[in-house]
Amino acid sequence: MIAAKEKITAGQFMIVVIQAQIGVGILFLPSSVESVARNDAWISILLAGMAALLLSVVMWGLNRRFPTMTLFEFLPKLLGKFAGKIVQIFYGLAFILECSMVLVLFTDVVRDWIFPITPRWVILGLMLATALYMARENIRLIARFFVLTFGLIFVLILIAAYAYKDANILYILPINESGISNVLKGMLRSMNSLYGFEMILLCYPYVKGGSKGILKATLFACVFSTLVYSFMVFMCLIVFSPEELKIIPQPVLYMVKALSFTVIERADLYFLTIWTVVVITTVMAYLYMGAKAVASIFGKKKHAGAVPYVALLILCISLYPHDQELINKMQIIVGIIAAIALVVLPFLLLCISYLFRIKGKEGAEG
């Protein structure tokens, strides 16, 4: 049983999911989706948001059958000891890779925008150390920190919204120029940025209140992140012409770079600074999940001991790619692994659970 001291409320859970979702994606999304879906990129994001909703419902449905267990606790029950272990390892790998991907992209941006000479390991080390300091704690304390820094997302939105003065709404037209298939391709690309709702698999038993509240919280979180992403993409689409978006990898930063307020100039530096905290929360979330996975692989109850090792592993992985091509390759690989872990597996597990009627002990209440 989980002690009351480790439980979080549904509201906290919602913010945990949002913080896990909104990370580096916010900078890359506009141009990466635009490159396939052109000026309909914002539709792609909205579609991706709906897909995320669907997936989180699947995960919720799966977890509802084991309301007192996390993913790693019910995997052996569902698949047997051996297969369960393999799937556990796979999930651990997925979380660790996703985390490294986030960090790789982050250090890339930092190198391009502020610190061209500073070695990558310094920035990576600092980020991971900060995340490690938090991720060792239980989900309740992590949730507290996430709630505290949640407001920063709104600061980012405000800064970006200020760029509206340079906007031209005509760029968004004509709608659906690129065709459905490209919009769908764009949707697949943007899925990567919406991952984070898998928190539900690990947090479900820790959330106070009934399963309906949890579902609501997850859905709200997905809707919120989708709206934030589509807002950012929309802003970029109306500030930059399609030609420009093609050559600007981080349009959001570029958009705020030229802004000058009366007291400050170069809003992009402030944007980056605040965004760093948002990325740190994402890293924390994945580090936590990764550590949970690793701890359960080795049959440990507490994840705190595994965190430093997982962080070290992530550091090594994220130091490896050093040119754009490798990063792109890594992105594809991580995308596939994440897709299997978050799309295919939960669905399969849900089917198995229903077909073989495997349920957690207190599964009836859901």
Partner 1 sequence: MRRRLAWIVIGSAILILCGCWDQQLLKNERNVSIGGFDQGIDGLLRATVSIRDIQVSESGANDSSEVHSVLARSTQHARELLNQEVSGGYSPVKIRVLLLGEEFVRNHDFLPYFDVYYRDPKSPLNAKVAVTKGKAEDLIRIRKIGNKTIGLHIDDLLKGMEQTTAIPRINIQTLHPLDRGYDFALPYLVNKGGMPSLNGIALFSGTKMTEILNTDESRLYLLLSDSMGRDLRMTLKSKKINASNSYDYVTIDVKKIQRKLKVKVSNKQDISVKLHLKLRVTVVEDPSNHLYDITVMNNLERILSEQLTDDSKMIVHKMQKAEHDGFGIARRLMSYHPKLWKQLDWIKEYPQIPFDIRVSLQIVNTGITQ
Partner 2 sequence: MGFFSKVFSNNRHKSARAANVRRTPPTEEKVAATLQENISYVHQALFHTEDLVNRSIPCFEKQAYLLYLNSVCDSDKIHQLILKPLLQAQDANPDRDLTAASVEKHTDLEKAIDLMIRGYAVLFLEGSEDCYAVQVNQINNRAVNEPANEKAIQGAHDGFIESMQVNLQLVRKQINSRNLVVRKYSLGKMTKTDATIVYLNDLANPELVEEIDRKITAIDADNVMNGLLVLEYIENQSFSPFPQILQSERPDRVAANLLEGRVALLMEGTPAALIMPVSFFTFYQSPDDYNSRSLAGSFIRLLRLFSFFIAIALPSYYIAVVSFHYEVIPMELFYQIKGSVEKIPYPPILEALFMELTIELLREAGMRLPAPIGQSIGIVGGLVIGDAVVRVGLVSYPMITVVALTAIASFVVPSHEMSYSVRLLRFPVMIAASLLGFLGICIGFALILIHLCKLESFGSPYFAPASPMRLRDWKDSFVRLPFWKLNERPIDPNPQQLVQEKRSKGGTGDDRG
Category of 129 on φ-ψ map: left (φ > 0), alpha (ψ -120 to 50) or beta: alpha
According to the binding rule CB under 8 A, does residue 155 interact with partner 2? no
- Residue 324: contacted member of partner 2, partner 1, none (CB under 5 to 8 Å, by partner type): none
Window 175 to 234, contacts with partner 1 (CB under 8 A): 177
Pick from 83, 170, 180, 336: which binds partner 1 (CB under 8 A)?
A: 170
- Interacting positions 263-302 with partner 1 (CB under 8 A): 265, 268
304 in contact with partner 1 (CB under 8 A): no
Q: Say how far apart CA 157 and CA 175 lie, in whole Å.
A: 24
Interface residue with partner 1 among 82, 174, 325, 357 (CB under 8 A) is 174
Q: How many residues bind partner 1 (CB under 8 A)?
A: 29
Asked whether position 137 contacts partner 2 by CB under 8 A, the answer is yes
8 A C-beta contact, residue 190 and residue 44: yes
**Partner from partner 2, partner 1, none binding residue 263, C-beta < 5-8 Å depending on class:** partner 2
In this chain, which stretch among 134-142, 179-187, 189-197, 303-311 interacts with partner 2, using CB under 8 A?
Answer: 134-142
Among partner 1, partner 2, none, what binds residue 141 when CB lies within 5 to 8 Å by partner kind? partner 2
Q: Is 169 in the site for partner 2 (CB under 8 A)?
A: no
**According to the binding rule CB under 8 A, does residue 261 interact with partner 1?**
no
* Residue from the set 260, 328, 333, 354 that interacts with partner 2 by CB under 8 A: 260
Residue type, 179: G
| CA-closest candidate to residue 139, choices 306, 309, 289 | 289
Binding segment for partner 1 (CB under 8 A), chosen from 28-36, 239-247, 315-323, 355-363, is: 239-247
**CB 134 → partner 1: shortest distance, Å?**
13
Q: Which does 304 bind (CB under 5 to 8 A by kind): partner 2, partner 1, none?
A: none
Contacting residue, 1, 173, 243, 262, with partner 2 by CB under 8 A: 262
Which among 205-213, 259-267, 285-293, 358-366 is the span making contact with partner 1, rule CB under 8 A? Answer: 259-267
Residue ranges in contact with partner 1 by CB under 8 A: 112-119, 122, 125, 129, 166, 168, 170-174, 177, 241, 243-244, 247, 257-260, 265, 268
